[in-house]
Structure 1
Amino acid sequence: MQYYLTLFGSLDNLLRMLKRETHLLSSDLNKVVKPNAVFLRECGLGNCDIAKLCIHVPRMLITNPDRVRAMVACAKGIGVPRGSGMFRKALHAVAFQSKEKIAAKVDYLKNTFRWSDAEVGIAVSKVPMLLKLSKDTLQSMSEFLVSEVGLEPTCIAHRPIMLTYSLEGRLRPRHYFLKFVKANRLLDHDWNYIYTVDLTENIFVEKVVRPHIEAAPHLAEDYAAACRGEVPTRFMFA
């Protein structure tokens, strides 16, 4: 218990881990758990990183050390080297997935977004969790961002974080909003879609929505409705 308290940093973290992995306390501490923890530290992860990783992937510490090394090799294989700031997320993304399944998802990303080998490599290395998104989610994102918004595939490959945003709660409402203010010539800045979807909700409302309320008093209400999944009549264009 003392070892795990030190590793996970708090009793709360340890209890969260035990709820997800009941075999933790019965696993071989010296032959399995400690070697895995030592190896993960060698990969650049501190105790805090290991705790975060294991809360999401609770079997990581208690699996065969050779398999953990294989997972690290897979993370490196998707373009995220040991010691990089993205390594923990890459390890989370590939954990307990076969090489064949990872390769199939990479191919699906490539075909769905019409990316080159280089572009899919850039996207996955920047946001490894793309490998965890469902095919339906990725297909919907492609249809919206490429076909409706008109973004170039290479643009999405270099800003893949947008694929982790909510389609209905963030990406689509902001597209509707920009279409409306541009169509009604309300823009006082050259806001572009890529910039606006990266803004937090509070900042988007303060910097982009509120300045237009005097000219279009209904705008904040319409944007809020769009975020709830509704499409206000004023946001509809032929």
Structure 2
Amino acid sequence: MRHYSIHNIIFNSHHCTTLNPKKIPPLFPFPFSHKLKLFTTTTTTSDSESEPNSFVVSYLINTIGFPRETALKASKRLRFNSPEKPNSVFTFFKNHGFSDSNIRNIFIKEPWLLSSDTHNLILPKFQFFLSKGASPSDISRLLSVSPRILQSSLENRIIPLFEFYKRFLKSDKATICYMIRYSIPLSYNLTMVNMKLMIDYGVCDSSIARLLLTRPTILGSNDFINTLEEVKGLGFDPLTTTFGIALVAKKSLSKTLWDDKVAVFKKWGWSDEDVVRAFRVQPFLMLASIDKINLVMSFWVNQLGWNSLALTKRPQMFCISLERRIIPRALVLQYLQMKGLWRKNASLVTPFSLSEKLFLSKFVVGFKDESDYLLKLYEEKMNLAYTKEKNTDMKITK
């Protein structure tokens, strides 16, 4: 089973490079842009004079770059008759490393900020994130995606939420990065409800963390409690990591698709009980596509002539590469069987779980008289698999 490192998943992902110190701009990197000049007069344009709150409308359009309809809508909630207040808010963001485009996007999403008290309402939140290791560019990215954070209470919402997610992500930096990457909503949302349900069910923190990092949308789904009950009813222990994987499988598949996959296994000789037992051993089993299940079964049964029930003992076989692992190794084993060099009562599936080095040592090099042929057979199939993958990748990139 592949183990996930929180640090690796967050900091190596191309989706989230926000904490790379080489890419962090200085705190006050930009002079005022000539493209976005601040108002220095209360004169309004003739186009806006006929509109209500004409100064506000004119300021939003000509200074910030609001679309006209957006400016008209926002003007109904803003009250200023001179540029001093909105200019000061703009300057505050500019002095904290925000680009013109970031400021524009933030104000378009949350126009109320133009009338906000930056010293008492916004600055403490900036200071909190800075104290947690966020850089100015991190804060800029976070607020560009989720500027509504600034409307939330620091003490009653932001800090408790931050500490809640940190429980699973383990570090301040990882939590900051996660908030930027997934735009965590600060309202009491389904994700938090479902995470608390998992805690109540006794699901281990590492399983919850894995879901947060790899399948966050599942945590925001409805009827989560029913899935928890179903997975628990299938015999999974909430304290094990496989419980979280089983949750992913059950929430990722519709009942129809689940039943279709069960039907495919039964077509190849498995019973309903075989499917459940195999799923308990390897929950990723049910995430394999129907095509992959059929390909593995067809090769195993039709080409090798082996019993499909052997695969119930190691359902991981449906999660590994057919071309790069199953076929090359199976042909080596089939040859050894044909030559009477491999015990008939030996496990058919165990050799597929070995590392390549150990497999070659035991089943290729270990048979000195046959090793040259076996190695040639193995390498031919491996080279064919890599060539096939390379050609597939080239087709995809074209």
Which band: TM-score by shorter chain?
Answer: 0.7 to 0.9
Deviations along 1:181-236, one digit per CA (max 9) or x if unpaired, are 44456x38776532211212221122222223565335334312312336xxxxxx
Comparing 213-222 and 44-53, the one that deviates more:
213-222
Mapped to 2, the partners of 1:45 and 1:107 lie a distance apart of 30
Q: 1:3 aligns with which of 164, 169, 175?
A: 164
Matches of residues 1-238 of structure 1 in structure 2 within 5 Å? Answer: 1-10=162-171, 11-12=173-174, 15=177, 18-19=180-181, 21-22=182-183, 25-28=184-187, 30=188, 32-64=190-222, 67-76=223-232, 79-83=234-238, 85=240, 86-111=242-267, 113-184=268-339, 187=341, 192-213=347-368, 215-229=370-384
Q: Secondary structure in 2 aligned to 1:81?
A: coil
Segments ≥4 residues shifted beyond 6 Å: none
Query: Cα RMSD between the aligned structures?
Result: 2.8
- Number of equivalent positions: 221
Which residue identity is paired with 1:197?
Answer: F
The answer as to whether partners of 2:336 and 2:342 remain within 8 angstroms in 1 is: no
Deviations along 1:37-68, one digit per CA (max 9) or x if unpaired, are 2211233322221111222211233344xx22
What is the TM-score when the length of structure 1 is the normalising length?
0.78
The answer as to whether partners of 2:212 and 2:219 remain within 8 angstroms in 1 is: yes
Comparing 10-19 and 92-101, the one that deviates more:
10-19
**Alpha-carbon spacing, 1:7–1:163, altered in 2? closer, same or farther (3 Å):** same
Mapped to 1, the partners of 2:259 and 2:226 lie a distance apart of 15
The answer as to whether partners of 1:13 and 1:51 remain within 8 angstroms in 2 is: no
What is the TM-score when the length of structure 2 is the normalising length?
0.49
Kindly, what percent of the aligned residue pairs are identical?
A: 24
* Higher normalized contact order (CA 8 Å, seq sep 6+, divided by chain length): 1
Bigger radius of gyration: 2
**Alpha-carbon spacing, 1:206–1:32, altered in 2? closer, same or farther (3 Å):** same
For residue 170 of structure 1, report the CA deviation from its aligned partner.
0.9
Q: Tell me, which stretches of 5 or more residues in structure 2 are unaligned?
A: 1-161, 386-398
Q: Tell me, which stretches of 5 or more residues in structure 1 are unaligned?
A: 231-238
Which residue identity is paired with 1:153?
Answer: S
The answer as to whether partners of 1:8 and 1:47 remain within 8 angstroms in 2 is: no
Q: Secondary structure in 2 aligned to 1:228?
A: helix
Mapped to 2, the partners of 1:150 and 1:34 lie a distance apart of 50
Mapped to 2, the partners of 1:212 and 1:132 lie a distance apart of 37
Comparing 137-146 and 147-156, the one that deviates more:
147-156
Mapped to 1, the partners of 2:217 and 2:176 lie a distance apart of 14
Mapped to 1, the partners of 2:278 and 2:309 lie a distance apart of 9
**Alpha-carbon spacing, 1:17–1:180, altered in 2? closer, same or farther (3 Å):** farther
For residue 16 of structure 1, report the CA deviation from its aligned partner.
5.5
